[in-house]
Amino acid sequence: MTRPLKLAALLLLVIVLFGLSLGCGKVWVPPGAWFSSDPRWWIILQLRLPRAVLGLALGATLGLSGAVLQGYLRNPLADPAVVGVSSVAALGAVAAIIFGIGSGFAIFVAAMLGAGGAVAMLAALTWRSPSAITFILAGTVLASLAGALTAFLISIAPNPYAVAEVIDWIMGALTDRGWDDLTFALPPMLVGAVLLLLTGRALDALSLGEAAAQSLGIRMGRVRWQVVLGTGLVVGAGVAVTGVIGFVGLVVPHLLRPIFGHRPSDVLLPSAFGGAALVLAADSLVRLAPGAGEVRLGVAMALIGAPFFLGVLIRERGRVWI
């Protein structure tokens, strides 16, 4: 099968899962009730459609950012969380909740400010060094510090209701997200996705090594800014409206490389489609959990991603020893 046909098949899967996301839930809405006077149509229009669009955008940008980071760092275990942006964005949102700054747009702004701060700190820590190792270490430091500060804020929370809200938000979900959330999140996600897609040629050159890439005319500083800023925008916007949802960027590129090839640029667009499909499928499944509530999407993705991460780690460890 040719690459265009594979992409078309993947896109068709995304479309099917998008339609499934609109119809499934505690109340099933059959296609015959769509675009009609059936009152169930309003469930789709007001609740499920913005949720599905947000899930599609979130999955696509997380999958794309994971593929870019794995290509840039030349590390198959790289994930958007590795740069620390998601942790610092979550810290900003948690601070807004704990100190009662507000909800909705205020939390979004706080999370985006956290993501922007993470991007600035990454730039300050790595701008003199051309090595990707420095980038990984700086991201690890930011993620660890943000995690510790988040735990500290939770421990000094003034009331248990704030703690419950923070824990509920940190688990990550698309539940009750509406058109306002889309209005906030989509613009930075689109800008970040464009920046990440434009790194394809540079990532192919980097697969030969940094010295070879520079000899081919790749400007490492510019590529780093594209990667950091693009990841900051898409991950920050995602965390700001859905909470922390991990492992999408790790899992999807690994699943698609055997199908689309191992050249970094070949996996970027498929990873966007694959990430959208994975998040839409997972979000549909969590709604079907027995009981009145839903399993949190972040929890479901962790249950999927952690064993996958362990499997990749064992495989890569085996290669190193060989």
3-state DSSP of 93-117 = HHHHHHCCCCCCHHHHHHHHHHHHH
Plot region of 127 (φ>0 → left; ψ -120 to 50 → alpha; else → beta): alpha
Burial 127-148 (b: 16+ CB within 10 A, else e): eeeeebeebbebbeebbeebee
pTM: 0.89
In order along its 322 residues, the chain shows pLDDT tens digits of: 788 899 999 999 999 999 999 988 778 888 877 888 888 888 888 889 999 999 999 999 999 999 998 888 887 777 887 778 888 989 998 998 888 776 678 888 888 888 888 878 877 776 666 566 777 788 888 889 999 999 999 998 888 888 888 888 888 888 888 888 899 899 999 999 999 999 999 999 988 887 788 887 888 778 888 988 898 899 889 988 998 888 898 889 989 999 999 899 999 999 999 999 999 999 998 888 776 678 888 888 888 887 877 777 777 665 543 3
Q: What is the DSSP string of 51-78?
A: HHHHHHHHHHHHHHHHHHHHHHHT-TT-
- CA pair distance 149, 88, nearest whole angstrom: 9
Q: List the structure tokens of 265.
A: 């640029």
Q: Burial of 279 by CB count in 10 Å (0-12 exposed, 13-18 middle, 19+ buried)?
A: buried
